Amino acid sequence: MFNLSGKVAIVTGGGSGIGRAISTVFGRRGAHVVVLDVDAHAARETASEISVAGGRAESAACDVADSENVRASFGTIVGRVGRLDVLVNNAGVAYVGNIERTPEDEFDRLYRVNVKGVYLCSQAAVPVMVRQGGGVILNMASIVSFIGVADRFAYSMTKGAVLTMTKSIAVDYVKQNVRCNCICPARIHTPFVDGFIRKNYPGREQEVLQQLSEYQPMGRMGTPDEVAYLALYLCSDEASFVTGQAYPLDGGVLNQ
């Protein structure tokens, strides 16, 4: 089950964290993985790990917020490998602050990456998928797509948009056999989280890490691999009857 052999999968933001975990799991399950990341070195590292483990992978530097960059990257990839079966829109950025403490440039930055990036990559992928008879788009949303979280104004705005884009694509292309779903995680323990804590809470790292963990009723943050295995299911043929859905992966947060 959950075999991706013969499928080509593009994973944005695949150079680290959740994107790296998804890329790695997809590679182990037989996909030809194309790792896209604004950090070319990180993308190459992920692709190399997959290849060393016996999988098929390649990498490319791509700024998902740059329309020309996206168009060129997707055109090159599809031109070389001939198809695109799975797109995981994982690339994203964050900012801490309420509406009064969110500068316009930060608001615009989050919109460009988290919203426009999903739009541009999906816009590049959909015609290819329609032409070949189907495909899967998986977007990375968040539990803040459903609920309010303090000091995440701009981030929440973008993830709400990701949720509604997911449903719109699913409705518009269901007859063309293009499925679109999203995953809505609570806090996931990634290197980004550790770096964020070090930068914003110097000297309080362990205290803040504990607070972030206890936010989930299970008492811990999720792991990138836990997200990756849900992504594997949603992008596999076993989920062929699933589209337009948002899957919480939240350690019980939404049950509170």
Q: Name beta bridge partners: 88.
A: 11, 138
Q: HEC states along 234-247?
A: HHCHHHCCCCCCEE
Q: What is the C-alpha to C-alpha distance for residues 136 and 231, in angstroms, rounded to an integer? A: 11
- Where residue 219 falls (left for φ over 0; alpha for ψ -120 to 50; beta otherwise) is left
| 155 catalytic residue (yes or no) | yes
Q: Which residue is catalytic, options 95, 119, 155, 247?
A: 155
Query: Within a 10 A sphere around the Cβ of 159, how many other Cβ atoms?
Result: 26
Q: Comparing C-alpha atoms, which of 50, 72, 54 is closest to residue 63?
A: 72
Catalytically active residues, by annotation: 155
